[in-house]
């Protein structure tokens, strides 16, 4: 009935772990429906293998890591970091087919990224820009949460911050967000939603930040500039500045944010299965860089806000599964997420084999 | 293979909640496989809406109630008590299709009843008679339990009280019930099973009641008059009177129950899914009306008895699911439940579109 | 798509319980996908019935045992030990079809065995030989564990003890096991794998045993003689003797094991469902027969070793279910399990109705 369509492209870099998670042990995780085992080689590079022994499928993550090789925990087959079997018990000759798949992996912007598709296309230059996550001009920290929903629901959520008003009313939400106009634009692989709310009262979260960092109390100009990069990265430039101090861009020029506080909410959301995802996020700021207490407080504060989203997203996933044929209508506020969805769909379509051409010849 | 047939009619009133459960909050419940949200309007009337926002399907029960309107907890769409969307974020024009289904609801005999079928047919006069539940001549109380079985298994259970002997041996069961003859009759929408057990020892439960209320110890005439009203209501007239005091009907006339104690076990069983149901029950009595302690004791005593049934019903449901093609044989004791099943099947059949007439014409 | 093939033959004796488990109560268990209830009759014989009442399918194990008869816990139907209904409530005439299936059962070698297939073929002489389990020359004890895997994975595990090196490295595993050559032979219904490791250091477990029993420390000759009997019994003759004392067989004659310690690991693995099994095992020894402390210690020690297997087997089952079309390759070490699998498959094939002969006639 419902022919299962792919929900994500394979030819893309997906965050698989925070850098610190991968060390000299065997870390198991499911990325894009593929079970993998990750470990750090003795030279510090990350290796990523299919997590199933070639012989009897036992997860290699249940085995042991010795130097740069993994020994299966059942019958002792040994695999090197490229996935090739280098030892079998009780026999000298190794079956030439004996190997497990190895995945291209790079470490960048504090994440380990893996490429589940065609290795020949795995160009490290395609890793999404999340440099705020390890840039000396910014300070911050983040977390990984595994959410029981299609990763695209998280993208939808981030592309329309109207929901802040209703989901996060006690921290960052305010009527102004739901009422302010916004502009949605898009490129080949990116979509951007920009919303400026000028001369408003700051919501509790931002009122606290600008007072702490700049000693300022009063009206602010607030911005949210959401930038999506297909298939699953959303970096959000957020902040407030003294009202009227020139923060909004003018005549195509960036504004002056020097009287403000600026943060980036960095999000990259990796499909685990069709109905669950690994949601990596971090919050980086450009003020009070040395305050470890503030870093800790912001990380836990944002974590609390994201738990509110998690609750909504998981309920939405259940409702969608219960209404498999539901036809969704879109509102104005969905402009950003619609573009994100289109860009994702385009990447998926590119990976499909072309439909066969059927020649019909008529007998003359 | 096993084409899923409907297990319940839609054009019927189903108890959805006890009256006291519905107030100025959002109550979520699944009735006849339909998720609904219930609340009491400011005028005291009960409103029942489909529990899924038109926009992105989030359960409305996760939102907030303001005056007579519900605000979705994700993007803030607002719905009135008729299910029509009255506000959307960031846009002036409302999509005319923007509404959720509203269900006819009435409050009667201490229950909130909803009609999941054609609203044009929702005649409040069709609510089953359960007046003992709020009649000044009767006192009592009840509970709601959600049982993991097809609601018809509960109906079967109530239509044949033989099971009291084997399931409830320590309270209301006794050999006499399994051995006494009974009479089963039926009408268009009702089926009745009548069993009189004359000049017997009362089982522990009834021995206690008649001694407490009438100071009587000794042989009794016991009755069980079970009345089913399709699709899922079973009211049982039960009691004992001094043996020989004239309680049994005679020559078509009702007997004299003045030397007895009388109760009504009121049951209405609403399908939740095909394999689970909301079982609303109450026990009302016509003696010692002012004794709150007795009301409490009877409610908890009956609750204990019903837990014994719950255990059996859930095991039976599992066994039936494991034997999908099982052909059931019927015993004499099944006469009442057979009639109940036929009346339910008739209501279900009435809702099916007539089979298409296929005209076959032969070329002349 | 994936036509479900049977994973076990029905015409075989399967261990259903330890003898001590079956008494004057109703014991429910699923054997070869069949729910059964077991009890001991007043004459001490074991009766095994289908665990579902003929009338409404309630498990009979929820009823009561009276003398040699079971009363259903719902409506009181009574069944004798042959499964025939002998009483129905409120009626004199019993439906002649009213019975539940009774299974042939025998008690032997401390297990209750049942035959789920054709009763006419249930010859008690076919019960596998596990006499060490109740032989005065041997002492020991065992356990039942229910493992969430296909029973054949346990057979595979036992037929190749190479895994001891990797799974049980702290007790019985050692490099020598993975490296020593072995011989695999087979008969019509049995397969045998024999491995001798001469003049080696004993692994911790066996070093402790031979020192305790014989006061010997030093090099040993170690043996593992694994004997499979289709479909699911594996008895393993294991032990060590003083190196060079003549334990290995020579010129077709058995060796002299008098300077050694000998044990039998007795295993019989009954399918519960396609993905779970009841694994009955015991460890019997021919030394220090009277030491109850040693019996206790060995039973718990072996139980700890088997928990390591359980962890591997359940992970393997999950992996196999996730790779339904996986094509397995075999190594030298798989010789024994390959024969076991072939003998099982042969028994299953014997039970299939012969494929229809399709006569194709050509028009002359």
Q: How far apart (Å, rounded) are the C-alpha atoms in residues C239 and C59?
A: 46
Contacts of B298 (CB under 8 A, 6+ apart): B140, B141, B283, B285
Q: What does the pLDDT average to over C145-167?
A: 92
* pTM score, whole prediction: 0.91
DSSP state of B72: -
Contacts of C200 (CB under 8 A, 6+ apart): C174, C176, C219, C220, C221, C222, C243
Residue B17 in tokens: 């909640």
Q: How far apart (Å, rounded) are the C-alpha atoms in residues B145 and B151?
A: 12
Q: Cβ B329–C54 below 8 Å, yes or no?
A: yes
- Give yes or no for a contact between B346 and B339, defined as CB atoms under 8 angstroms apart: no
> Which residues are B226's β-sheet partners?
B193, B236
Phi-psi region of B76 (alpha: psi -120 to 50; beta: other; left: phi over 0): left
Q: How far apart (Å, rounded) are the C-alpha atoms in residues A136 and B173?
A: 79
- Give yes or no for a contact between A159 and A186, defined as CB atoms under 8 angstroms apart: no
**pLDDT for position C168:** 84
Contact list in B for residue C88 (CB cut-off 8 A) is 331
B98 interfaces chain C, CB cutoff of 8 Å: no
Q: How far apart (Å, rounded) are the C-alpha atoms in residues A224 and A195?
A: 5
Which of C178, C181, C331 shows the shortest C-beta gap to A55? C331
Which of C52, C89, C97 shows the shortest C-beta gap to B319? C52
Question: What pLDDT digit, counting tens, does each position of A262-313 carry?
Answer: 999 999 999 999 999 999 999 999 999 999 999 999 999 999 999 999 999 9
- Give yes or no for a contact between A72 and A53, defined as CB atoms under 8 angstroms apart: yes
Chain A: list its partners (3+ Cβ pairs within 8 Å): B, C
Q: How far apart (Å, rounded) are the C-alpha atoms in residues B23 and B342?
A: 37
Contacts of B225 (CB under 8 A, 6+ apart): B192, B193, B194, B195, B236, B237, B238
Question: What pLDDT digit, counting tens, does each position of C12-57 carry?
Answer: 999 999 999 999 999 999 999 999 999 999 999 999 999 999 999 9
> Which residues are A190's β-sheet partners?
A229
- Give yes or no for a contact between C68 and C47, defined as CB atoms under 8 angstroms apart: yes
Strands laid side by side in the C27-31 sheet: C27-31, C34-40, C46-50
Question: What pLDDT digit, counting tens, does each position of C42-96 carry?
Answer: 999 999 999 999 999 999 999 999 999 999 999 999 999 999 999 998 888 999 8
**pLDDT for position A181:** 85
Cα angle value C233/C237/C242 (rounded, 5°)? 170
Contact list in C for residue B322 (CB cut-off 8 A) is 35
Chain B: list its partners (3+ Cβ pairs within 8 Å): A, C
Q: Which residue has the tokens 């001469």?
A: C198
How far CA A91 is from CA of A59, A74, A77, A148, in Å, comes to 22, 16, 11, 45
Q: What is the ipTM of this complex?
A: 0.89
What residues of chain B score a pLDDT lower than 50? 1-3, 364
Contact list in C for residue A90 (CB cut-off 8 A) is 162, 178-179, 181-182, 331-333
- Give yes or no for a contact between B328 and B159, defined as CB atoms under 8 angstroms apart: no
Q: Cβ B332–C35 below 8 Å, yes or no?
A: no
Which of A163, A320, A329 shows the shortest C-beta gap to B74? A163
The candidate with the shortest Cα–Cα distance to B184, out of B129, B226, B125, B136, is B226
Which of B180, B315, B332 shows the shortest C-beta gap to C59? B315
Please state the three-class secondary structure of B148-187 as a single string: CCCHHHHHHHHHCCCHHHHHCCCCCCCHHHHHCCCEEEEC
Question: What pLDDT digit, counting tens, does each position of C99-133 carry?
Answer: 999 999 999 999 999 999 999 999 999 999 999 99
CA distance B89 to chain A (A): 6
Q: How far apart (Å, rounded) are the C-alpha atoms in residues A250 and A256?
A: 10
Question: What pLDDT digit, counting tens, does each position of B288-335 carry?
Answer: 999 999 999 999 999 999 999 999 999 999 999 999 999 899 999 999
**pLDDT for position B106:** 98
Phi, then psi, of A4 in degrees rounded to 5: -65, 110
B315 interfaces chain C, CB cutoff of 8 Å: yes
CA distance B205 to chain A (A): 46
E strand or H helix at B147: strand B139-147
Q: Provide the 10 A C-beta neighbour count for residue B250.
A: 10
Between helices B151-159 and B292-322, what is the axis angle to 10°? 120
Phi-psi region of C296 (alpha: psi -120 to 50; beta: other; left: phi over 0): alpha
Which of B73, B75, B97 shows the shortest C-beta gap to A162? B75
Which of B59, B76, B97 shows the shortest C-beta gap to A165? B76
C73 interfaces chain B, CB cutoff of 8 Å: yes
**pLDDT for position C357:** 63
Question: What pLDDT digit, counting tens, does each position of A159-169 carry?
Answer: 998 888 888 87
Contact list in C for residue B319 (CB cut-off 8 A) is 52, 57-59
A4 interfaces chain C, CB cutoff of 8 Å: no
> Which chain C residue lies closest to B176 (C-alpha atoms)?
C90
Q: Cβ C74–B319 below 8 Å, yes or no?
A: no
Phi, then psi, of B121 in degrees rounded to 5: -95, 0
Q: What b/e string do you get for A277-287 counting C-beta neighbours within 10 Å, with b at 16 or more?
A: bbbbbbbbbbb
**pLDDT for position C34:** 97
List of domains in chain A = 14-124 (2.102.10.10), 130-349 (3.90.380.10)
- Give yes or no for a contact between C63 and C79, defined as CB atoms under 8 angstroms apart: no
How far CA B274 is from CA of A322, B34, B152, in Å, comes to 15, 11, 10
The alpha carbon of residue B299 and the mean position of all alpha carbons in its chain are separated, in whole angstroms, by 17
How far CA A1 is from CA of A4, B11, C318, C360, in Å, comes to 9, 29, 27, 38
Measured on CA atoms in the order A30, A35, A39, A44, is the torsion positive or negative? negative
Q: Cβ A316–B97 below 8 Å, yes or no?
A: no
Between helices A335-350 and A151-159, what is the axis angle to 10°? 140
> Which chain C residue lies closest to A99 (C-alpha atoms)?
C329
């Amino acid at each position: 009935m419902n022919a299962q369509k792919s929900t994500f492209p394979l030819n893309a870099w997906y965050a698989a772990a925070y850098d610190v998670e991968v060390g000299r042990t065997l870390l198991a995780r499911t990325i894009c429906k593929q079970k993998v085992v990750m470990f750090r080689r003795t030279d510090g590079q990350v290796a990523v293998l299919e997590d199933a022994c070639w012989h009897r499928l036992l997860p290699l993550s249940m085995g042991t890591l010795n130097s740069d090789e993994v020994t299966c925990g059942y019958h002792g087959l040994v695999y090197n970091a490229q996935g090739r079997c280098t030892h079998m018990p009780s026999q000298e000759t190794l079956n030439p087919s004996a190997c497990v798949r190895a995945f291209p992996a790079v470490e960048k912007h504090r994440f380990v990224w893996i490429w589940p598709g065609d290795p020949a296309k795995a160009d490290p230059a395609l890793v999404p820009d999340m440099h705020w996550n390890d840039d000396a001009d910014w300070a911050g920290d983040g977390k990984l949460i595994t959410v029981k929903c299609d990763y695209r629901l998280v993208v939808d959520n981030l592309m329309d911050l109207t929901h802040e008003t209703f989901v996060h009313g006690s921290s960052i939400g305010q009527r102004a967000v739901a009422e302010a106009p916004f502009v949605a634009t898009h490129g080949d692989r990116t979509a951007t939603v920009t919303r400026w709310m000028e001369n408003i009262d700051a919501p509790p979260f931002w009122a606290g930040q600008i007072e702490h960092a700049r000693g300022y109390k009063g009206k602010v100009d607030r911005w949210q500039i959401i930038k999506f990069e297909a298939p699953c990265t959303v970096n959000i430039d957020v902040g407030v500045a003294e009202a009227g101090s020139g923060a909004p861009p003018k005549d195509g020029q960036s504004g002056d944010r020097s009287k403000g506080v600026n943060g980036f909410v960095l999000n990259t959301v990796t499909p685990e299965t069709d109905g669950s995802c690994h949601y990596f996020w971090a919050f980086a700021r450009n003020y009070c860089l040395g305050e470890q207490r503030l870093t800790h407080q912001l990380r836990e504060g944002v974590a609390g806000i994201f738990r509110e989203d998690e609750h909504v997203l998981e309920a939405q996933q259940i409702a969608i599964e219960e209404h498999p044929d539901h036809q969704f209508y879109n509102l104005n506020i969905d402009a950003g997420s619609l573009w994100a969805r289109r860009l994702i769909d385009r990447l998926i379509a590119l990976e499909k084999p072309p439909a066969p051409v059927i020649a019909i010849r008529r007998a003359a």
